[in-house]
């Protein structure tokens, strides 16, 4: 996923001029955020920043931003593009600096002190953003310029900037009466507080939800290495001679594939789906029910029938009806396949005289057996070929070299926030520095679940800044002295997140607001999903899939098996995702006058009415631990993963039609799509590259839901 904590509307930066002290909202000059860091490309000075530096920097940054905005709004000169739009692009440098660095740690290396800052500052940041978007004088200036836009002879990117600003202000409520603006501000602040609360509850609930086991026999089926990790986790949590299986962020848990003890499987599964429904301090039900209600009320204030209707205005899909129609076209093919898969699993259980009906916690255990029987494919056979450093350098980086001519040089001189974090200079085809790339791949208790990319520094020609990008994942860290062998799905995740990274690195915009990944939700997952395709490209996989002991490349026979197995279990995989898409949409399609929902009941109803209530195929995330929509900005936007999957497969089809992995094709894709940020209408951008609108067929074929 692409994770960004700040509001998606604006990425604000400024150039500090004149008296720095006055310009920095009164911040103490000894605070490391007072000036941009002296490190290359202004990379954060993690070695100098203390927990206590964030709060004053946030407060001063917000103060400075408002002063700058007021100055623009109150400018006696007639509004022009330069004195209003360009000026706005230069505001908020300090705030962006502290926010981007804070987000790195809040996501990947948090602690109670930072969580407290997050909870305290979130509502203030929402209020600060409101002060900008609900500033009537400022909006009047933008509106005046927007009205005259045809006569201004703006270049294409500037014209786009003006349109995006105007739309963002209108969507944020700039045309509301003063009374309604106040109401909106209150709702925004409450929503931001609840969102921060949800994130803390989820982190704590997931941690507490780990399953503690007394007897080694209960872990039967797990590898020795996995049992060792469980023993180490238990010990770290203060339970000697016990075993702790910690929870991943999704409903299904990786160990459910191997655990032979059915009671342990059920325990682990139930612990996962109830992690935030235990009636304790980590129960998120009240939090999310109120959030859904607040969002519906906000939409109503802004003149929309639902939050989804409001949110989709500036997306490629445009309306909830378009999303519902897109999803409904996918549901029959996905659920039909899932039902067939359930029948196959039941047949296997019966054949083994299991004497029970397949449940959700059995699915992966038996489907793994079917996979082995049908494809003779064992994860443990594949993993020795997937050593993480090899995958990174000889796979992820190698593909970027073949397609785009990039090279990567590891550097050890830049400070990192945790010892496992690695840093690379990214060198462009002409030898110039394009970006800096950080990666942080291993799971930790103080890291949010999932995987994401974001910027530590944004690219902008106006501000003279180049991108500093990071990827975070949650791969299992090997026991000391053991090689870091990852799964095939981890490899995909690495390519995925690096696709986002490329979108950020190739950014070539004048304005920070339009730069890199600052695009619509239903576009931003396109470059990342597209990049996943290269993981299995014959040239690329031969280069990175090298046995860690023998140095032998992965046998072609094994590669063939992996390819053949790629569409296995796709009925389950796609149905669980469609169910999550649907939950997101239903929570955000409520009218403002809907009463507070009983979360479990509403979830069940929503799945039932869309035909996605298959008991053995639960949603990938249940409502109560659906971080994308309550914590990370994907509200009414989770469908974007499948929408962009359509784009990714369709774009890859273009590559296949035109010679596949070549420098020329990579350059064309860079020039026409991933260097362009949000500087152009996204549907037009796509059509220019592809020669036509995106089709759904390559997606259905690639998931094995229809035949070619
Ligand atoms: Zn992504």
Q: How far apart are CA 489 and CA 299, in angstroms?
A: 38
Q: How far apart are CA 355 and CA 212, in angstroms?
A: 28
Task: State the pLDDT at residue 130.
Answer: 83
Cα–ligand 1 centroid distance for 135 (angstroms): 34
Q: How far apart are CA 671 and CA 668, in angstroms?
A: 5
Cα–ligand 1 centroid distance for 102 (angstroms): 20
Cα–ligand 1 centroid distance for 441 (angstroms): 15
Cα–ligand 1 centroid distance for 526 (angstroms): 8
Query: Which residue do the tokens 């490391």 mark?
Result: 32
Q: Is the pLDDT of residue 15 over 60?
A: no
The CA–CA distances, whole Å, from 679 to 83, 511, 520, 527, 674 equal: 20, 9, 11, 16, 11
Whether the CB-CB separation of 534 and 406 falls below 8 Å is answered with no
Cα–ligand 1 centroid distance for 627 (angstroms): 14
Residues near ion ligand 1 (Cβ under 5 Å): 1, 525, 528
Task: State the pLDDT at residue 11.
Answer: 30
Task: State the pLDDT at residue 4.
Answer: 41
Stretch among 155-169, 332-346, 693-707 having the lowest mean pLDDT: 693-707
The CA–CA distances, whole Å, from 294 to 169, 340, 386 equal: 20, 40, 46
Which residues, including other chains, have CB under 8 Å from residue 67's CB and lie 6 or more apart? Answer: 25
Exposed / middle / buried, residue 416 (Cβ in 10 Å: 0-12, 13-18, 19+): middle
Cα–ligand 1 centroid distance for 519 (angstroms): 13
Percentage of the residues of the chain whose pLDDT score is greater than 90? 86
Task: State the pLDDT at residue 23.
Answer: 66
pLDDT in tens, 227-237: 999 999 999 99
Query: Which residue do the tokens 């910690």 mark?
Result: 246
User: Cα–chain-centroid distance for residue 123?
Assistant: 22
Cα–ligand 1 centroid distance for 87 (angstroms): 32
The closest of 377, 368, 375, 433 to 406, measured between CA atoms, is 433
Whether the CB-CB separation of 641 and 362 falls below 8 Å is answered with no
Which residues, including other chains, have CB under 8 Å from residue 375's CB and lie 6 or more apart? Answer: 561, 564, 565, 568
Cα–ligand 1 centroid distance for 630 (angstroms): 17
Q: How far apart are CA 220 and CA 216, in angstroms?
A: 7
Per-residue confidence band for 2, with pLDDT thresholds at 50, 70 and 90: low
Tokens of 446: 């103080």
Q: For 12, phi and psi rounded to 5 degrees?
A: -100, 135
Stretch among 19-28, 545-554, 656-665 having the lowest mean pLDDT: 19-28
Average pLDDT, the chain: 93
Q: For 423, phi and psi rounded to 5 degrees?
A: -130, 135
Catalytic residue among 497, 525, 576, 603: 497
Cα–ligand 1 centroid distance for 1 (angstroms): 3
Cα–ligand 1 centroid distance for 491 (angstroms): 14
Whole-structure pTM over 0.75, yes or no? yes
Task: State the pLDDT at residue 179.
Answer: 95
DSSP designation for 554:
P
Q: Which helix (H) or strand (E) holds 473?
A: strand 468-475
Query: Which residue do the tokens 């074929």 mark?
Result: 701
Is 576 a residue of the active site? Answer: no
Neighbour count for residue 33 (Cβ, 10 Å): 28
Q: Is the pLDDT of residue 6 over 60?
A: no
């Amino acid at each position: 996923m692409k994770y960004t904590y700040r509001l998606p509307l604006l990425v604000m930066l400024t150039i500090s001029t004149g008296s720095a002290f006055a310009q920095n909202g009164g911040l103490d000059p000894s605070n490391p955020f007072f000036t941009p860091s002296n490190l290359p490309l202004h990379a954060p000075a993690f070695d100098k920043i203390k927990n206590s530096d964030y709060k004053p920097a946030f407060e001063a940054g917000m103060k400075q931003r408002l002063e700058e905005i007021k100055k623009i709004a109150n400018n006696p000169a007639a509004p022009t593009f330069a004195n209003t739009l360009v000026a706005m692009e230069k505001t908020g440098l300090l705030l962006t600096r502290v926010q981007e660095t804070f987000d790195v740690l809040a996501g990947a290396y948090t602690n109670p002190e930072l969580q407290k800052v997050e909870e305290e500052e979130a509502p203030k940041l929402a209020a600060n953003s409101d002060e900008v978007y609900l500033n009537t004088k400022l909006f009047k200036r933008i509106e005046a310029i927007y009205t005259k836009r045809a006569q201004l002879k703006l270049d294409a990117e500037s014209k786009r900037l003006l349109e995006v600003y105007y739309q963002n202000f209108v969507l944020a409520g700039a045309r509301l009466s003063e009374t309604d603006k106040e109401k909106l501000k209150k709702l925004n602040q409450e929503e931001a507080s609840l969102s921060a609360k949800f994130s803390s509850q989820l982190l704590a609930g997931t941690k507490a939800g780990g399953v503690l086991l007394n007897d080694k026999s209960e872990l039967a089926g797990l590898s020795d290495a996995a049992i060792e990790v469980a023993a180490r986790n238990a010990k770290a949590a203060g339970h000697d001679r016990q075993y702790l299986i910690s929870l991943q962020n999704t409903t299904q848990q990786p160990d459910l594939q191997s655990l032979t003890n059915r009671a342990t499987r059920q325990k682990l599964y139930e612990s996962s789906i109830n992690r935030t429904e235990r009636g304790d301090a980590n129960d998120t039900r009240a939090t999310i029910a109120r959030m859904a209600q607040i969002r519906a009320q906000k939409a109503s204030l802004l003149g929309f029938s639902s939050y989804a209707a409001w949110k989709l205005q500036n997306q490629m899909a445009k309306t909830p009806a378009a999303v519902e129609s897109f999803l409904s076209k996918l549901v029959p093919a996905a659920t039909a396949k899932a039902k067939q898969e359930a029948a196959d699993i039941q047949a296997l259980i019966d054949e083994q005289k299991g004497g029970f009906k397949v449940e959700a916690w059995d699915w992966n255990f038996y489907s793994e057996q079917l996979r082995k029987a049908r494809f003779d494919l064992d994860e443990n056979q594949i993993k020795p070929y997937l050593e993480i450093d090899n995958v990174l350098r000889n796979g992820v980086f190698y593909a970027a070299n073949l397609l785009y001519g990039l090279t990567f040089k590891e550097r050890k001189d830049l400070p990192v926030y945790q010892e496992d974090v690695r840093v690379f200079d990214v060198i462009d085809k002409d030898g110039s520095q394009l970006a800096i790339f950080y990666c942080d791949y291993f799971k930790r208790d103080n890291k949010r679940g999932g995987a994401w990319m974001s910027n530590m520094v944004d690219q902008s020609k106006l501000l003279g800044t180049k991108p500093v990008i990071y990827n975070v994942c949650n791969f299992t860290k090997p026991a000391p002295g053991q090689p870091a062998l990852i799964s095939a799905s981890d490899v995909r995740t690495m390519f995925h997140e690096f696709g986002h990274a490329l979108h950020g690195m190739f950014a070539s915009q004048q304005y920070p607001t339009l730069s890199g990944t600052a695009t619509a939700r239903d576009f931003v997952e396109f470059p990342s999903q597209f990049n996943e395709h290269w993981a299995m490209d014959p040239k690329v996989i031969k280069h990175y899939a090298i046995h860690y002991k023998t140095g032998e490349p992965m046998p072609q026979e094994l590669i063939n098996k992996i390819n053949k197995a790629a569409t296995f279990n796709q009925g389950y995989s796609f149905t669980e995702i469609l169910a999550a898409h649907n939950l997101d949409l239903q929570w955000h399609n409520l009218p403002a006058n809907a009463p507070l929902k009983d979360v479990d009941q509403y979830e069940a109803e929503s799945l039932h009415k869309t035909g996605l209530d298959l008991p053995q195929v639960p949603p990938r995330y249940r409502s109560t631990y659906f971080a994308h929509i309550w914590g990370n900005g994907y509200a009414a936007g989770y469908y974007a993963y499948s929408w962009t999957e359509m784009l990714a497969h369709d774009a890859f089809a273009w590559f296949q039609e035109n010679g596949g992995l070549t420098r020329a094709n990579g350059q064309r894709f860079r020039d026409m799509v991933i260097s362009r940020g949000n500087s152009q209408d996204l549907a037009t951008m796509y059509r220019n590259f592809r020669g036509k609108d995106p089709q759904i067929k390559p997606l259905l074929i690639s998931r094995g839901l229809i035949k070619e």
